[in-house]
Structure formats: structure tokens, C-alpha cells
């Protein structure tokens, strides 16, 4: 960190504390050359996560859109909102931790189905029916058979 007084590049951290609900870190530093103190702020650099859709178009990841899809699948089911929010947080964390800045909608759909399978099987089948675009009753039955086999 460059000293604002003498431009020396070495300093030591005297004090650190979180600010803005943990979104930033405020650091008091002391220049090792002139011994003057100054304050710096560190923030997390967040790069947008991009979603590559089936038609090859690209849009930014929208956690509200994902949550909306899960809510729709769980409509009239005994699923608490906290469970769905937790699932969305876990999906988003997994995507961000992968370090890929572009992720396919297929991957998001598969992660969503995996979470819904653990939360509520009826919601899982509802989501799968829309996501996988079942062409007929047989493809729907095939998915149900896979679900029963996994039990």
C-alpha cells in the first residue's frame, strides 16, 4: 500500500475492523518510512456471474429468478421460505466457488433439482417437468421411476 504522504510502498497494519455489515474492512496503517498513519478500505471484488442459456444467449445470474422458480415448484407444498432461500444461497455459493464466470442454465437447473429433491419430492417433479420439458407421459413416468429407484 502506497503511503499518501511520502509514496513509500511499505506499511504495517495498526488496526482492522469490519464496516458496512462486514462488506468492507477498514484498516489503519502506518508508513514504515515517515511513520504517518492513514486509513484504507478493502472491499470484495465481485465479478458478475453470467448464465449461458440454451439458445446461447447470455444474461447475468439473477438469484431472485432462481428463487421464483423454486417458489413456483413448491406452491401449495409444506416448504418453508427459509429452506428455499438456503437452497438458493447454496446454489449461488457453489457457482461462485467454481471460479467460472460463465455457467450454463443446464448446470443451474441440475443444482436446483438436486436441492429440491432433498427438500420436497413433489416440488422436485414439478420443477423437473418444466425444466426437462417432458414431451409426454412416458418421459414423466421415467423421471418418477428414477426418483423411486433412488429411494
Q: Are strands 24-31 and 11-19 parallel, antiparallel or unpaired?
A: antiparallel
Residue 97 zone, left/alpha/beta (φ > 0; ψ -120 to 50; rest): alpha
pLDDT for the residue numbered 23 = 74
- Other CB atoms within a 10 A radius of the CB of residue 141 amount to 11
pLDDT for the residue numbered 24 = 86
pLDDT for the residue numbered 35 = 97
pLDDT for the residue numbered 40 = 94
Task: HSE, CB side, 13 Å, CA atoms: give it for residue 91.
Answer: 27
The string of DSSP codes covering 99-143 is: --SEEEHHHHHHHHHHHHHHH-HHHHHHHHHHHTT--SHHHHHHH
Q: Which residues of the chain have pLDDT under 70?
A: 20, 133-137, 140, 151
Is 0.85 topped by the overall pTM? Answer: no
pLDDT for the residue numbered 151 = 66
pLDDT for the residue numbered 136 = 66
Amino acid at each position: 500500500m502506497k503511503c499518501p504522504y511520502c509514496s513509500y510502498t511499505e506499511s504495517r497494519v495498526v488496526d482492522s475492523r469490519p464496516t458496512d455489515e462486514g462488506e468492507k474492512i477498514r484498516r489503519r496503517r502506518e508508513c514504515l518510512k515517515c511513520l504517518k498513519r492513514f486509513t484504507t478500505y478493502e472491499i470484495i471484488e465481485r465479478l458478475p456471474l453470467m448464465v449461458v442459456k440454451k439458445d446461447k444467449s447470455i444474461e447475468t445470474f439473477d438469484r431472485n429468478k432462481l428463487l421464483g422458480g423454486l417458489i413456483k415448484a413448491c406452491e401449495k407444498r409444506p416448504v418453508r421460505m427459509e429452506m428455499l432461500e438456503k437452497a438458493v444461497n447454496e446454489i449461488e455459493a457453489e457457482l461462485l466457488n467454481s471460479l467460472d464466470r460463465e455457467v450454463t442454465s443446464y448446470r443451474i437447473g441440475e443444482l436446483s433439482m438436486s436441492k429440491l429433491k432433498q427438500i420436497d419430492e413433489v416440488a422436485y417433479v414439478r420443477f423437473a417437468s418444466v425444466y426437462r420439458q417432458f414431451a409426454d407421459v412416458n418421459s414423466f413416468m421415467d423421471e418418477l421411476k428414477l426418483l423411486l429407484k433412488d429411494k
